Amino acid sequence: MQINEYARQLSKAEIDAKEHRELVGGLWEEIGALQFEYLKKRGLLPSHRLLDLGCGALRGGLHFIRYLDTGNYYGMDVNASLIEAGRRELDEAKLADRQPHLLVADGFELGPFATTFDYAIAVSVFSHLPMNHIIQCLAQTRQVLRPGAHLLASYFEAPSKAYLAPLTHPPAGIVSYYAADAYHYAFEEMQWMADAAQLNVTRIGDWGHPRGQMMLSFARRQ
C-alpha cells in the first residue's frame, strides 16, 4: 500500500529547496504545461474565470495565471504550506500582480471565493481521494459552476466496478488500488458519484497524461 504524504506541512527550508515540486507529484514543467494547453484546446479564454481544485504549489497555476486576465484565477488546496510555496513561485515568476485568489480550505468549501466559474480543473486530485470525498468535491463544485461550465478531472481508470486487484498504469508504471492511495475507479463508479452530486459526466479518456490518468468532464444538469 502506498501512503499519501500530501498533507505534510513543508518547512520554510523545504520550500526554499523547492521540495514542494516533488510533493505535488513531480513532473513540474511537463504536467503544468499539459493541463494549461489542454484547457486552452477545450476553449479556455483569458476572460474566463478558472477554479483550480487541489492547486498545490501552482504547478499548473503559474501557466493559467500568466494567461488569464488579472484576477481570473482561483486556486484551492488543503495544504497551507503548498499555498505558501505557490506564493513564492508567483513572486519568483513576477506574477503576483496578476492578483490570483488562493484559498486554504478543507472539505472543498468554495464559498469564500464568492463567485462562479466558467471552467474548473482537478488534475491528480481524484486519484488521492476515496469516493465520499470525491462526491463532496463534486457537490461543492456544482454550486459554483456557471450554466454551461465544465469541471475537467483526471483519474486512474479501472476496467470494471469494485476492481479489487492492484492496477499498473502505462507508461510510467504507477500502481493504483481500490481501497488505498493511489485510488482507481471504473467509469461506472464515476457516473454513480456524479449522479450523487447531481452532475452529468462524460468520459474523455486519454489526454496525454504521462502517468496514464484518464480525463472526465462534469457539467451541471439543466
Q: What is the pLDDT of residues 67-106, one digit of tens each?
A: 999 999 999 999 999 999 899 999 999 999 999 999 999 8
Task: Give the pTM.
Answer: 0.92
> Band of the pLDDT at 211, cuts 50, 70, 90?
very high
Task: Identify the CATH class of 16-220.
Answer: alpha beta
> What is the domain partition of the chain in residue ranges?
16-220
Whole-angstrom distance, CA of residue 19 vs CA of residue 83:
13
